[in-house]
Structure 1
Amino acid sequence: MDDIVKAALAKWPNVPDCHGWLGLDARGDWYMRDDRCQRAGPFAAEPSEGVAPVKGSRLLHDKLIAFIGRNYMPDEQGRWFFQNGPQRVYVELEATPWIWRLQPDGSVLAHTGAPAGAVERALLDEAGRLYLVTALGLGLVHTSDMAQAADQVEQGAWQPEPVAADSLPQRWAFVRSPQRALGPGPWA
């Protein structure tokens, strides 16, 4: 966590949390979701909701993206957030808390740039999405890196095990939608 964030937390310890305003998609891109977007639909819709997802505006400012990445973490309930000064901004996840980028040297980096560490397990869901369990946690392999991932599988480095995508949050203790966990969204 950045020192400036730690100082803001000490100065203003009781700032209310923010829900629904920030999303992380399955490609590792951050999205800002204003009131209009939140009223129009959830970041990642559940089939039972009968509404289309509304991502919002993709963040493109490199320094802001890096700041979010340095201050991105889970709380004790598995809800991921970005500590924005004294305020926790909870993140809506389209897939998993981490999106992995495979590097030419075989290493794995998170969408934040953090090294993932060694790959402990590979998982393949019913839609053909590949997840890796690493020292950093569970994450989805970026779609652009699937050819390189296939090479790892063919070489025997990774042996994907079948997994149901809807079982991942409970098995790896993360919450896809902290906003939805509060009750019906503004789109309901």
Structure 2
Amino acid sequence: MPFESWVERALDKWPNVPALYGWLSLDRRGRWRIRGETISRPQIVETIGANYAADARGCWFFQNGPQRGYMNLEWMPFVLRRGEGDLLMTHNGRPVEQLRSAYLDEEGSLLIATEHGAGGVDSNDLDGVLAHLHADDGSDVEDCLLAALATPGGSATRLRLSIGGQSLPVERLDDRDAPAALGFVREPQP
């Protein structure tokens, strides 16, 4: 996603501004934070969301004019929410059109790799998204969920996620293994 034009102009004007680490974060609810305090001003929230991207290392950042402010991630790079119909949306308002893989962690959270990056389904929307799970073999979904939670990370499950016209197998993935498996860094360093 391209940055807003003012960011591109600032990058051209000041190309060597040092990056900022450890100040910004994204919490499990999809709220931006600065030094632990939630950012609530709508214009700032919108600007961060519009200029949020990842570098080649999988470190997520907010491009603030010529400066990158790297985000510490409490959980995932994106928090996914239910949009209209079967549509999923990222916490910063991007519609999800491509589901690439789906995982269930040891706590029962649903993790999904999308065209935007890795996201976890917001717990407020989890029940609605879990309603799109079914068992490959027609078994009871709740029994399959319990069985999946009892299996070790890296295991296949009998579950499929069918949402937005797409259907994916659901694998087990432990939270600690999610960054390496899904290609992101929770605490970027210089």
Tell me, yes or no, whether TM beats 0.5: yes
Q: Does the 8 Å contact 1:153/1:159 carry over to 2?
A: no
Aligned residue identity for 1:174 = F
The residue number in structure 1 matching 2:45 is 65
Q: Distance in 2 between matches of 1:65 and 1:123?
A: 28
1:101 alignment partner AA: R
| Equivalent residue, structure 1, for 2:63 | 83
Unaligned runs of 5+ in 1: 34-55, 183-188
The letter of the residue matching 2:130 is: A
Q: Say whether residues 1:148 and 2:120 are aligned partners.
A: no
Backbone CA RMSD of aligned residues? 1.5
Q: Under a length normalisation based on structure 1, what TM-score does the superposition of the two structures give? A: 0.79
Deviation readout 1:17-57 (Å, 9 max, x if unpaired): 10111100111011110xxxxxxxxxxxxxxxxxxxxxx11
Per-residue CA distance 1:52-79 (angstroms, 9 max, x = gap): xxxx110111111110011000011111
Contact 1:117 1:136 in 2 (8 A): no
Aligned residues: 158
Matched, 1:170 2:180: yes
CA distance in structure 1 between the partners assigned to 2:100 and 2:7 by the alignment: 32
- Separation (CA, whole Å) in 2 of partners of 1:78 and 1:119: 19
Q: Partner amino acid for 2:183?
A: A
Q: Which runs of 4+ in 1 moved over 6 A?
A: none
Paired residues of 2:18 and 2:67 also in contact (CA < 8 A)? yes
SS of 1:144's equivalent in the other structure is coil
Q: Which has the larger radius of gyration?
A: 2
Instruction: After superposing the two structures, state which structure 1 stretch, 63-72 or 131-140, moved more.
Output: 131-140
> 1, 4, 7: which one pairs with 2:6?
4
1:107 equivalent to 2:87? Answer yes
Does the 8 Å CA contact 2:113/2:182 hold for their aligned counterparts?
no
More helix, by proportion:
1
| Partners of 2:92 and 2:31 in 1: CA distance | 10
Report the TM-score when normalising by structure 2: 0.78
